[in-house]
Structure 1
Amino acid sequence: ILGNIGHVHELRRLLTMMVALDLINEHSYSVAFRGWARCNKFDMALSAFEEASGRDLGPVACSTLLTTCAKQRNMRLAWQLFDTMVAQGMTLNRYSYNCMAHMAALGGRVDDAVLIYNMMKAAAASTALTDEQKNDNRPDSYTYAALVQAAATGGRTDLLPSLFNEMVAAQRAAERAAGRPRRQQAGAAEGEGQMSQE
């Protein structure tokens, strides 16, 4: 509310007090970041981010910062923040990753989009994460859309068949893991329209 009504300094004092009393969480930072951005005081959000060095702000706060950079079309700052988040071991999720993949796609930066995709796959396969956290990092349709856009914009349409195959394989693996059968293609096997447990 403080950010919405333009009380940016009061918002800063409140966040500082919450940190001092250890009453802070990723949503607190996210709301503060969003409030400052709405008041065109994103520099205050960046200052709070820098002061939180060493603290895991969590995926919600990280996503808010990255999304704000994306809305401002400030790709350089987004990549700097993302690199800092990764270097400091902050918890990210598919929203953070997809935001970066989308920005890479807008600029046709295929290598960056593929790097983000590989980071997501590595996080989803990490033995250090819970199943829920792994699922929060799995590439999804937004990820694949960003990869396709990056390949098309960057003039790397030769990558499209392999991206499509990876997307299909990932979808099949997810369906198998969830125990959901998929329909066989018409005429592909005996008993057209039967369910496949593949």
Structure 2
Amino acid sequence: MQKFYFILVLILTFSCSQKQSDNRITEFEKVLGERQTKALNSLVSDFEKNLTKVYSDLPTEKAYRQYLTDLISNSTTDWEKFKFQSYKTNTEFHQSGLWSEIYTKDSVSGLQVNGIGKYMQALYIVKDSDSLIKKYWEKREAAGMMQNELVIPGILSLNPDFNNYFHKRIVVVEFSF
């Protein structure tokens, strides 16, 4: 009988944590918007296809880490391998309004973070549920655009889980201009 209760508690615990995770994604996507969410999902898909092509011998989790490490490595010379957006995805990124929700263009200082855009609002809704999301949101809110040499070690120091819906999107957005 104790085994039954133990298994029941495990099932309930798992389903509650799964529901919380699903609720975070639902809330994030609701704030971001349906078309913008589809555009972001396409960016993630293109990014992962590129990872598979460039790092074919690595599982996705390790390929994300290697991509980030290579991006700031002094020995990297092949910058083409970091380009991942298809023409179709890039077009939808802009036409969906997602680009404008993430970035603004300033004639004086160039590309800037849209601190009041739907992307930052959507992250704000879920930031307290995850230490990486929270730190990333705080740094992006305070500093705006950050150099790769700062953002990459920051992300990696927080032990990202590249199976995590949000961790993937944070990385992909950082390298989608």
Same fold judged by TM-score > 0.5? no
Look at both structures and tell me which one has the larger radius of gyration over its CA atoms: 1
TM-score band, normalised by the shorter chain? under 0.3
TM-score (ref. length: structure 2): 0.24
Higher helix share: 2
TM-score (ref. length: structure 1): 0.22
